[in-house]
Amino acid sequence: MSDRAAAVALRGIGKRFGAVVANSDIDLAVRRGSIHGIVGENGAGKTTLMNILYGSLQPDRGEIAIGGETVRLRSPAEAIAHGIGMVHQHFMLVDRFTVIENLLLGAAGGPLLAGAEAQARSALAGFAAAYGLTLDPDAVVEDLPLGLRQRVEIVKALHRGAEILILDEPTAVLTPQEADHLFEILRRLAGEGRTIILVTHKLREIMAATERVTVMRRGAVVAERATAETDAGELAALILGHAMPQRARPARRAVGGVVLEVAGLSLRDAGGQELLRDVALTVRSGEIVGVAGISGNGQSELLEIIAGLVAPSAGSVALNGRDITTLTGRERRRLGLGHIPEDRQRMGLVPQLSAALCAILGDQRKVPRRGMMVLDHAAIDAATEALMHAYDVRPPEPTRDASKFSGGNQQKLVCAREMEGRPAALLVGQPTRGVDIGAIDFIHQRLVALRDAGCAILLVSVELDEIRSLADRILVMSRGAIVGAVAPTAPEAELGLMMAGIGVYATQTAVTAPS
């Protein structure tokens, strides 16, 4: 395609962060009215490239053409003026504001323009009618589920006149149903001539939604394909640089005694709404219990209560036979409870701290010291560097701030810390969110190895494939309650019905904890 026919053409883009080459000599042309996929391992430089196109990072070299015209994008405001919109990997909304206020913040002229609010309200109604982007204008953003917050971001970009919409891992936070809806919307937008650039780790999304796909590795473009002329296997090999290993479902081992036991757990929010209803479960040494469910049905609260971050309204939590319901999170950790939180940005890492300090978070007592109070930084750094190599965290630099790692590498760092703590029980929330296909395989293998070493693992994931391939038994949550138990071999349709709260409680396939 000539650059003229392209909605966006990037030529020779280069960007370094110190010694790290994030982008090197990148050429990319995206056809108007198409959905163009970008894939690549964690740290490949995808977000950096998108931030350059959105004007929030300046390239060291190279040029950008929009609709055939070379432009300089010195800020997001300039990118917006050229019709570029972006939905970030981590949302950028003002949480305490309403939907309409967030929309006004982004609009030309801002909230001061007379009639702006009325205009924004009618625009919102228009987007709802045209694309199914329905939103309550007066809802406060922080009260909205993640799927709707993302919808606010999309509507905000459209309201600012985006003709080119960049989405950076938009489905990482969505349920499969929400993701399907998003793709319907993206197809309609593309059908109207808007151009969509989609960054994702999920190859089935690439195969289902895109027209072309660009593969990045270590800062460079290594391949581009027409989607119709490739398949997930080839893309995986291009991303990894080698073929994806095929793995059988790990055989179930003998299980031991009960390590984690939860009984009668209930939780009400400030408004009296029941978020958890009488939840009971056990996890034994040497097994992975998966909790499946559409997100927002109490799974997050369940993990937070067991981890000691939230106090339940009723019920108890026991670890190795000891009641830990009133212990702090730190005390629970000391007793051998690990936690890979769902939200690594908020709970897993402290972005301003170095990777090395994040690697010892929550575990300060076991940390090497020189004297009573003084941390032995050299020893901590060396240990962290070894950990980073073992978990392929890139770049393996313990002194780099946590915030300066790509999203997937942050997640690998949290997984490394929690798994290497050799916990008796491990709580795992969405462990592979935002993680590339190679790292997903690696994290899955580590979880199975930990299980085989006797750890009791409670795994919450919205990825059914993940639960089905890892869990020894599956509990299904719906509206705050456990509505069924199934074997991992149960048909997906059966699981889906239970997740939707349509209670065909499987009797044939129901599995209880082995005794």
**HSE of 466 in the Cβ direction (CA atoms, 13 Å)?**
27
**Which one of 13, 34, 40, 55 is in contact with ligand ATP (CB under 6 A)?**
40
Burial of 77 (0-12, 13-18, 19+ CB in 10 A): exposed
Kindly tell me which of 189 and 239 has the beta carbon lying closer to ligand ATP: 239
Residue number, 45 or 488, with CB nearest to Mg ion: 45
Q: Classify 392 as helix, strand or coil.
A: coil
Closest contact distance (angstroms) between CB of 43 and Mg ion is 8
The site partner of 44 among Mg ion, ligand ATP, none (C-beta below 5 to 8 Å per kind) is ligand ATP
Of the CA atoms within 13 Å of residue 512, those in its CB half-sphere come to: 3
Considering the rule CB under 6 A, would residue 85 count as an interface residue with ligand ATP? no
Count of residues that bind ligand ATP according to CB under 6 A: 20
The one of ligand ATP, Mg ion, none whose footprint includes residue 304, by CB under 5 to 8 A per kind, is none
**Options 44-52, 227-235, 309-317, 497-505: segment touching ligand ATP (CB under 6 A):** 44-52
Burial (CB < 10 A; 0-12, 13-18, 19+), residue 395, is: middle
Q: Sign of the CA dihedral 108, 109, 115, 116?
A: positive
Residue 171, contacted partner among Mg ion, ligand ATP, none, CB below 5-8 A by kind: none
Report the nearest approach of ligand ATP to the CB of residue 52 (Å).
10
Q: How far is the CB of 337 from ligand ATP (least distance, A)?
A: 28
User: Minimum CB separation from ligand ATP for residue 488, in Å?
Assistant: 28
Find which of ligand ATP, Mg ion, none residue 230 binds, CB within 5 to 8 Å per kind.
none
- Least Å from the CB of residue 199 to ligand ATP: 7
Residue 395 near ligand ATP by CB under 6 A: yes
Strands 314-319 and 6-17: unpaired
The contact pattern for ligand ATP, residues 318-337, with x = CB under 6 A and - = no contact, is --------------------
**Coil vs helix vs strand at 153:** helix
Is 22 near ligand ATP (CB under 6 A)?
Answer: yes
Among 14, 20, 91, 318, binds ligand ATP (CB under 6 A): 20
Nearer to ligand ATP, 406 or 430 (CB): 406
Nearer CB in complex with ligand ATP: 47/432: 47
Residues that bind Mg ion (CB under 5 A): 47, 407
Structure tokens, 121 = 């309200």
Q: Shortest CA distance to 101 belongs to which of 159, 147, 35, 54? A: 159
**At 314, which amino acid appears?**
A
DSSP letter (8 states) at residue 332: H
Find the binder of ligand ATP among 37, 45, 85, 429 (CB under 6 A).
45
Write down the least CB distance from residue 135 to ligand ATP, Å: 27
Full 3-state SS string of 440-470: HHHHHHHHHHHHHCCCEEEEECCCHHHHHHH
Residue 71 neighbours by CB under 8 Å, 6+ apart = 64, 65, 78, 82
Site string for ligand ATP, 429-448 (x = CB under 6 A): -------x------------
Stretch that binds ligand ATP, among 17-25, 236-244, 317-325, 416-424 (CB under 6 A): 17-25
* Cα 240–chain centre separation: 20
Of 13 and 44, the one with the shorter C-beta distance to ligand ATP is 44
- From CA 324, how far away is CA 80, in angstroms rounded? 52
**Half-sphere exposure for 481 (CA within 13 Å, toward CB):** 10
Sheet of strand 456-460, all strands in order from the earlier edge strand to the far edge: 337-340, 425-429, 456-460, 288-292, 473-478, 481-486
- Residues 274 and 482: their CA atoms lie apart, in Å, by 13
Q: Which H or E element spans position 61?
A: strand 61-66
Distance CA 98, CA 176 (A): 26
Least separation in angstroms between residue 90's CB and ligand ATP is 10
Among 195, 230, 409, 478, binds ligand ATP (CB under 6 A): 409
Stretch that binds ligand ATP, among 39-47, 116-124, 445-453, 487-495 (CB under 6 A): 39-47
Determine if 46 is a binding residue for ligand ATP (CB under 6 A).
Answer: yes
For 187-256, the DSSP string reads HHHHHTT-EEEEE-S-HHHHHHH-SEEEEEETTEEEEEEEGGG--HHHHHHHHHSSPPPP-PPPPP----
Nearer to ligand ATP, 44 or 167 (CB): 44
With helix as H, strand as E and coil as C, how does 90-149 read?
A: CCCCCCCCEHHHHHHHHCCCHHHCCCHHHHHHHHHHHHHHHHCCCCCCCCEHHHCCHHHH
Question: In this complex, which beta carbon is closest to Mg ion, that of residue 169 or of residue 287?
Answer: 169
| Interaction partner, residue 45 (Mg ion, ligand ATP, none; CB < 5-8 Å by kind) | ligand ATP
Per DSSP, what are the bridge partners of residue 175?
none
Part in contact with ligand ATP (CB under 6 A); list of ranges 78-86, 293-301, 303-311, 398-406: 398-406
Distance from C-alpha of 147 to C-alpha of 227, rounded to nearest angstrom: 27
Determine if 206 is a binding residue for ligand ATP (CB under 6 A).
Answer: no
Nearer to ligand ATP, 17 or 191 (CB): 17
- 43 touches ligand ATP by CB under 6 A: yes
351 binding ligand ATP? (CB under 6 A):
no
Instruction: Write out the residues near ligand ATP by the rule CB under 6 A.
Output: 17, 20, 22, 40, 42-48, 394-395, 404-409, 436
